[in-house]
Chain A
Amino acid sequence: MDLQQKQQFFEQAIDSYSRPLYAHIRSIVISHDDADDVLQNTFLKAWTKLDSYKAEASMSTWLFRIATNEALQHHRKIKLRRWFSLGTLPETKATNDTSQEISKVLENALETLSTQQRMIFGMKYFNAMKYSEIAAITNLAEGTLKATYHQAVKKIKNFVSQHEREF
């Protein structure tokens, strides 16, 4: 594969996978800015490793694996940063925009889940992936994935009912 072919292939990959990868990353790292950093890093890493990519795994699985590793690594960094800054979170701007508020509520709901629950919920719910596809990416058993997903859904439902007054 020459450089031009490689670039063409890469552009197609960005077109096809940037949205599902964004949703997956966003459900792990929560904020848009972090998701943006991780997504760019994912594509840059994919570019550097494109020569070593073997068609054994599908392109989607390969990219999702890179994105998962990048997102988890970034999430660990955020947690450590929060720990060093004694748990203070960056202030969010108050907004009257309903869509922004919905996103904020969604972020808060996702925050109640564990990292693994968020990761699996993101892949299953937002990307409508099959358990077999998620299992290929995460190396987890399908039974574990099902249980984790149902726990995540339950937690989000609880969050919504508990915060009913705030809405």
Chain B
Amino acid sequence: MKENFNKHIESAKGKKAAAFTDIPDGYFNALKKETIHKVTQGISPERKAFPKHNRILVAALILLVLTVGSVVIIQNRKAQTISSEKMAFNGEIISDTSRTLLFDPESVTKRSLPLQQVDSILQFELSTEEIILYLLESEEFEF
């Protein structure tokens, strides 16, 4: 068999289609007839603009992206719920972090920063004595 194959591969050089021994007899005549028939009938090459397997692949990719996206969103929501804490005293809720977590922490910090600065300025510019004097003079201030 090896000898046969070696002989064949050597003799196949430059033999074009004859290099392949399994071509049915009369194949090329039939091919010509069929092609001419298709041409005269106006049949175009067999091709779909978007083959079926490609459509399946795209659908599978979309489904995968949607699934992964949903899982990420659900996980994120769960994490927010778990980390939110409610503090209650005598049945009354005094602290609920779940509402705070809905805000962007960075924006909350940015918004609160000027207030902190104002507080610190007041603290340093007014002495404690001045504040007490103000409170004593104020009519609204009562122990």
Tell me if B110 is interfacial: C-beta within 8 Å of chain A: no
How far, in whole Å, are A20 and B14 apart by their CA atoms in the complex? 9
Question: Which of A11-19, A57-65, A111-119, A135-143 interfaces with chain B?
Answer: A11-19
Contacting pair A103 B20 (CB below 8 A): yes
Q: Which residues of A contact B106 (CB under 8 A)?
A: none
Q: How many residues of B contact A (CB 8 A)?
A: 39
Q: How far is the CA of A19 from the CA of B29 in the complex (A)?
A: 11
Contact with B along A101-114 (1 / 0, CB 8 A): 11111100100000
> Closest approach, in angstroms, between the C-beta of B63 and any C-beta of chain A?
15
User: In the bound complex, how far is the Cα of B31 from the Cα of A11, in angstroms?
Assistant: 11
Q: Mark B26-70, 1 if CB is under 8 A from A, else 0.
A: 011001101110111001111100010100110000000000000
From 105 to 126 in chain B, residues with beta carbon under 8 angstroms from any chain A beta carbon are none
Q: Which residues of B contact A102 (CB under 8 A)?
A: 4-5, 8, 21
C-alpha gap A80/B6 in the complex (Å)? 33
Asked whether B12 is an interface residue with its Cβ less than 8 Å from the other chain, the reply is yes
Contact flags B9-25 to A (C-beta < 8 A → 1, else 0): 10011111111111110
- CB of A36 within 8 A of CB of B39, answer no
Residues on B with beta carbons closer than 8 Å to the beta carbon of A151: none
| A-to-B contact residues, CB < 8 Å | 7, 10-11, 14-15, 18-20, 22-23, 26, 32, 36-37, 39-41, 43-45, 47-48, 70, 77, 80-81, 84, 98-106, 109, 125-128, 156, 160, 164, 167
Spell out B's residues near A (CB within 8 Å): 1-2, 4-6, 8-9, 12-24, 27-28, 31-32, 34-36, 38-40, 43-47, 51, 53, 56-57
- List 20 A-B pairs, Cβ < 8 Å: A7-B39, A11-B32, A11-B36, A19-B18, A20-B17, A23-B15, A26-B20, A32-B22, A40-B38, A41-B45, A44-B44, A47-B39, A70-B45, A98-B1, A103-B20, A105-B1, A126-B16, A128-B14, A164-B2, A167-B1
